[in-house]
Amino acid sequence: MREYEKDPGAIYRQSFATVRAEARLERFSGGMEALAIRLIHACGMVEVADRLAFSPDAFAAGRAALMAGAPLICDCEMAAAGIIRRNLPVANEVLVTLNDARVPALAASLGTTRSAAAVELWRERLQGAVVAIGNAPTALFHLLERLDQGWPKPALILGFPVGFVGAAESKAELAHDPRGCDFVALRGRRGGSAMVSAAVNALAAGLPEEVGT
């Protein structure tokens, strides 16, 4: 059996040192650099740094929203499960509507997926929220459609749906026209719940000077 590192602190430090050594982080600063590093740490692929699209104030907007008590709205339970709740600045509510009993009927009436139909239940909580989409492209498309129709605007949209049908296209649409919202999106087919929750965790942790580390 080969020797391996067993000290959790050493593993953590070495992991982030490797990310910093291997990833191209020059275009990031402050909070967005911290967010990019956490994304890479979550997926093990340094090249995702090159695929990130974001608005200039994305990190600041998301962080300010959380500090003000805004809810986190997730498209699936897996995205919510990856959020480190103890780091949320004011015990922010984490909301998932996918398994709401009303969703199947909504999906049938709208002729769409359950993930998209679940977005219909976000409206009352959407203003100033942080939206974390890590699974379904149809959820992101549906949110953008509703924003076009005048729905309340979230403070930040984290667009990380994954897959071969609609994932790249939904994120391209978000990056092209974020409907007046700040955003972070991972271009292409890659994404997933672990990545979007890593982005949320970066926002929750804040910058080192904020948390005294």
Active site residues: 41
Residue 156 and residue 131 in contact, taking contact as beta carbons nearer than 8 Å: yes
| Residue type, position 190, single letter | R
Sign of CA dihedral 70, 61, 90, 76: positive
Q: Cα separation of 108 and 93, whole Å?
A: 28
Q: Cα separation of 191 and 11, whole Å?
A: 24
Residue 70's alpha-carbon distances to 52, 61, 115, 166, 178, in angstroms, are 24, 11, 22, 28, 19
Please, what is the angle between helix 30-43 and helix 58-67, to 10°?
A: 90
